[in-house]
Amino acid sequence: MGNNTTAVRQPAPADTEFVRAHTAPGPVPFVPEVRLRMAQDAIALWETTERDRGREGLPPPFWAFPWAGGVAVARYVLDHPELVRGRRVLDLAAGSGLVAVAAALSGAAAVRAAEIDAYAVASIAVNAELNGVAVAAELADVLDGDGAPDEVVLAGDVFYERAMAARFLPFLERAAARGATVVVGDPGRAYLPRERFTALAEYTVPVAADLEDAAEKATTVWTLSG
């Protein structure tokens, strides 16, 4: 989520058709309570999205796969529904919307999922419908704010690049400072400032081998104090 887009809109029909055409529904490994539309071949889909958009250098299709950090947060939320029950929740850099769906299934009062990838916004809407829950999918860069009025801020796997970490950490700190509960999933990425966080749980999470360097990742769920 690295630009200054602020528009919020409904998914474009063409983006929704693209998501449906290149994914198939199934239960998420390690989080079988949630079903997502997922792709089978990460590299092939990556190349297809670049052709569809007419340019190279696009980020990976984060929306088409369950990533380790998000899987861990979703598992934690489903196992600890009191974290979100009756509260407003923001799923940050939401990808497929896995964490947002888990929060909605766990009784959140309202859930919004923010992304800057139009395919991801379409994927979030499709996956919310697939699971029979309400999630407000936003095409928006929210990182200059503090996540208000949401009471819980959830993020999976957002510390994998230095530039991203430099934007995400201040946002999360502002959210925690105003009293929000901040929970992050991280599979040992280089730019997570561990000294700022407290570990809540650790899982061994299955991951897409063609996107990671292993078939499983030891992934920690962290909370950030205000």
- pLDDT at residue 60 in the model: 80
pLDDT in tens, 171-224: 999 999 999 999 999 999 999 999 999 999 999 999 877 777 788 999 999 999
Distance of CA 206 to the CA centre of its chain: 16
pLDDT in tens, 146-162: 999 999 999 999 999 99
Binning pLDDT at 50, 70 and 90, where does residue 9 land? low
Q: State the SS3 of 50-117.
A: HHHHCCCCCCCCHHHCCCHHHHHHHHHHHHCHHHCECCEEEEECCCCCHHHHHHHHCCECEEEEEECC
Tokens 């309400």 -> residue: 134
Q: Pick left, alpha or beta for residue 132 (phi over 0 → left; psi -120 to 50 → alpha; otherwise beta).
A: left
**Which residues, 6+ apart, have CB-to-CB distance to 132 below 8 Å?**
none
Domains along the chain with CATH numbers:
13-224 (3.40.50.150)
For residue 190 the two structure tokens come to: 């280089």
Q: How far apart are CA 19 and CA 198, in angstroms?
A: 36
pLDDT in tens, 118-147: 999 999 999 999 999 999 999 999 999 999
In 3D space, the residue among 32, 39, 30, 35 whose CA is nearest the CA of residue 130 turns out to be: 35
